[in-house]
Amino acid sequence: MRIVSCLLRMIALATLLALQPGAAAAQSADEAFTRLGADSFSDTNRAIELLIANAHPQAAPIIEALAAGRLLAGGGAVVIKTTDGKFLDARTGAALPAESPGLAPVRLNNGVRRNIQAALGGLGLLNPDAGKRIAAAEAVFKSRDVALLPVLEGAIAKETDARAKAALRQAQAAILVAKPDAPPFDRIAAIDVLRERGDQDALATLRSLPADSSPALKEAQSRAVSAIEGKLAVWRAGQNLWYGLSLGSVLLLAAIGLAITFGVMGVINMAHGEMVMLGAYTTFIVQEIIRTRFPGLFDYSLLIAVPLAFMVAGLVGIAIERGVIRFLYGRPLETLLATWGISLILQQAVRTAFGPTNREVGAPNFMSGAFEIGQLAITWNRLWIIVFAGLVFAALLAILKLTPIGLQMRAVTQNRRMASAMGIRTGRVDALTFGLGSGVAGLAGVALSQIDNVSPNLGQSYIIDSFMVVVFGGVGNLWGTLISAMTLGVANKLLEPYAGAVLGKIALLVFIILFIQKRPRGLFALKGRAVEA
C-alpha cells in the first residue's frame, strides 16, 4: 500500500508539475473533500477528477467506496464505511471510533457512475500488477477518456513491462487520435500505433475520428483502416477455419463409428445417433451422481464419463447387433429400416425416463473459458474436443492396425467370405465391430454434451451429417473419414458468412449428392474385382 501511494504521489507530481503550480496540489485535495461533502452530482464529479489529478493516496479506496455507496459525508467529514462495518477517515485512512451522527451516503447517478468507472480505469493504470495495468489500459482504450491522458503519460514514462507499455501507448493513441487540439504530428503517430494494434477496437477507434480532421490525418486514417481491414480479414478467415476444424472434429467423432460399422458390415446403423445421445445422457447421469454425492470430483466428471459412455453405448450396440442385425445379414436395406425402428424406441425410452426437455450438463473448469491468439478467440471446450477427437481417431487407428481384432476387422472389410474361410468368426467380429462403433458414438456423446443440448433428439440432428461424412469419405479407410469430416466442417464454416447457415448446409448437401455421382464410393474407395463383385 505504501509503495502504491508513493508511486501515485510521484507520478502525480511528475505529471502535474508541468501543468499546475505545485502549491495547488494540497489545496485541490482539500477542495475535493469539500465538494464530496456538498453531495451534489456535479461536485462529486469534480471531486473525482481532483482526486485522480492529484493522485491522492486515498483516491482508490475513496472512489471504490463511492462506487459501492459506502462513502458517507456530512458535517464536513467524509468517511469510508468498510465492508465489515468499520469506519475510516477518508482523508487519512485512519480508523474512527464510531459512526458520527449526520452522515449520509454520497449519492450517485449514471453520470457519476461513468466517471467512477473512468477513474477506476485511471487508478488501475498505476496498479503494481502488470496484468491489471494492461486491463486498465484496455478499459481506457475503450472509454477514450481525455481526462486520463496525463495519468497515462505518467504511467508510460514509468512503465518497464513491454506488454503493459504497448497497451498504455495504444490507450494513449486512442485518446490522442480523437483529440482535436492535440498536435497533428502526435495524432498521425497515434494512427500508426492503432494500425499496429490492428484489431476490431482499433478499427472502430479509427473510424470514429471527428469529421473536421485535416486531410493528412484523413489520409493516414484511411490507409490505416484499409491495412487493418486486410489484416482482420485474414484473421477472420483463420477464425472460420478454426470453427470449421472444430465442427469437423465433432463430425469426425459422430461419424467415425458409423464409418467402421458401415465399412466392416456394409450396414447403415440408423440408430447411431441414438448411441451418441446415450453417451450424452451417461455424462448427465455421472454428473448428477457427482453433484449429489461427491461434489469435489466435479472437475473429473468427464474423465469418469468417458469410459462409462463407451461401455453403455457399446453394450447397447452389441445387444442391437446380436438381437436384431444378426438376423438381417446380407439385407442392408432391411437393416437400415430395423435400426431406424430401434432409434425410435431408444429416443422414446429416453424421453420417458428423462423427459423431453434439455438436460443441463455442466462444464468442468478446464473446459470453460477462452483465450486469444492474436485475433483468434479460442474456447477451451472446442479445443479439448478437437484434442479428444484426435485421440479417439488415433486410438481407433491403433486398434485397427495393431490388434488381432483390428486385423480381423480389416480382413472382413475387404473380403468377408475369404475371411470366414480363413477361420475368422465373422459373427463375433460383427458384434465387436458394432460394439466398437457404438462405443465411439458414446464417446462423441460425452463431447457433444459440452457444446449441444442434451435432449432425446440430440442424435437425430447429427445422423444425416454423419452419413454425409461417411459417404463423402468412402468406406474402409479411416483417413478418408478424417479428411471428409474436416473438409465438410471447414467448408460449412467458410460458406456460412456468405450464404448463411442454412443455405450453406443445403449447398453442401447438394454438393455431396453431385459428388457421389462422380465417385459413387467416396473419396477413398477400395478398388478391384473383389469390391465390384
Partner 1 sequence: MNAPNPGALTSSLLYLDGVSVSFDGFKAIRGLSLTIEPGEMRAIIGPNGAGKTTMMDIITGKTKPDVGTVMFGGSVDLTKLDEAAIANLGIGRKFQKPTVFDFHTIEDNILLALKAPRSVARTLFWQTAAAQAKRIDDILGIIKLGDARDRLAGSLSHGQKQWLEIGMLLAQDPKLLLVDEPAAGMTDGETAETAVLLKAIAKDHSVIVVEHDMGFIRELGVKVTVLHEGSVLAEGPLDVVSANERVVEVYLGR
Partner 2 sequence: MISRFLLQNMDKRGYVFLALVAAIGILVPLLNLLMPVGSLFHVPTSTMSLWGKYLCYALLAISLDLVWGYCGILSLGHGAFFALGGYAMGMYLMRQIGSRGTYGNPVLPDFMVFLNWQELPWYWYGFSSFPFAMLMVLLAPGLLAFVFGWFAFRSRVTGVYLSIITQALTYALLLAFFRNDMGFGGNNGLTDFKDILGFNVQAQTTRAALFSMTCVMLIAGFLIARGIVVSKLGKVVIAIRDAESRTRFLGYRVDRFKLFVFTVSACMAGVAGALYVPQVGIINPSEFAPANSIETVIWVAVGGRGTLVGAALGAVVVNYAKTVFTSGFMAPYWLFALGALFVFVTIFMPKGIIGTARELWEKRRKPAPTVTPEPAPAE
CB under 5 to 8 A by kind: which of partner 2, partner 1, none does 340 bind?
partner 2
498 binds partner 2 (CB under 8 A): no
Q: In this structure, are residues 454 and 340 in contact, taking their beta carbons and an 8 Å threshold?
A: no
Q: How far is the CB of 507 from partner 2 (least distance, A)?
A: 9
Positions in 344-383 near partner 2 (CB under 8 A): 344-345, 347-349, 352
Q: In this structure, are residues 43 and 115 in contact, taking their beta carbons and an 8 Å threshold?
A: no
289 grid coordinates: 451422481
Positions in 267-306 near partner 2 (CB under 8 A): 267-268
Q: How far is the CB of 350 from partner 1 (least distance, A)?
A: 41
514 binds partner 2 (CB under 8 A): yes
Treating both helix axes as pointing N-terminal to C-terminal, what angle do 215-265 and 404-414 enclose, rounded to 10 degrees?
A: 80
When the beta carbons of 270 and 396 are compared against partner 2, the nearer one is 270
Q: How far is the CB of 427 from partner 1 (least distance, A)?
A: 25
Cα 134 to chain centroid, rounded? 21
When the beta carbons of 268 and 448 are compared against partner 2, the nearer one is 268
User: Which helix (H) or strand (E) segment is 104 a member of?
Assistant: strand 104-105
CB under 5 to 8 A by kind: which of partner 1, partner 2, none does 529 bind?
partner 1
Cα 187 to chain centroid, rounded? 35
391 binds partner 2 (CB under 8 A): no
* Distances in whole angstroms, Cα of residue 374 to Cα of each of 198, 236, 377: 10, 11, 8
CB under 5 to 8 A by kind: which of partner 1, partner 2, none does 505 bind?
partner 2
Q: How is residue 379 annotated by DSSP?
A: E
CB under 5 to 8 A by kind: which of partner 2, partner 1, none does 527 bind?
partner 1
324 binds partner 2 (CB under 8 A): yes
Residues lying near partner 1 in the complex (CB under 8 A) are found at 527-529, 532
Q: In this structure, are residues 489 and 389 in contact, taking their beta carbons and an 8 Å threshold?
A: no
When the beta carbons of 28 and 343 are compared against partner 2, the nearer one is 343
Q: CA quadruple 380, 381, 382, 383: dihedral positive or negative?
A: positive
Reference 446, options 391, 372, 403, 517; nearest CA is: 391
Segment lying near partner 2 (by CB under 8 A), choices 35-43, 53-61, 122-130, 343-351? 343-351
Count of Cβ atoms closer than 10 Å to residue 153 Cβ: 16
When the beta carbons of 76 and 528 are compared against partner 1, the nearer one is 528
Question: How far is the C-alpha of 56 from the C-alpha of 9, rounded, in Å?
Answer: 7
Segment lying near partner 2 (by CB under 8 A), choices 48-56, 241-249, 281-289, 332-340? 332-340
Q: In this structure, are residues 41 and 111 in contact, taking their beta carbons and an 8 Å threshold?
A: yes
Per-position x/- string for 223-262, each x denoting binding to partner 2 as judged by CB under 8 A, each - no binding: ---------------------------------------x
Q: In this structure, are residues 134 and 164 in contact, taking their beta carbons and an 8 Å threshold?
A: yes
Half-sphere exposure (Cβ direction) of 87: Cα atoms closer than 13 Å: 14
| Contact positions vs partner 2 (CB under 8 A) | 262, 266-268, 324, 327-328, 330-338, 340-345, 347-349, 352, 464, 467-468, 471, 502-503, 505-506, 509-510, 512-514, 516-518, 520-521
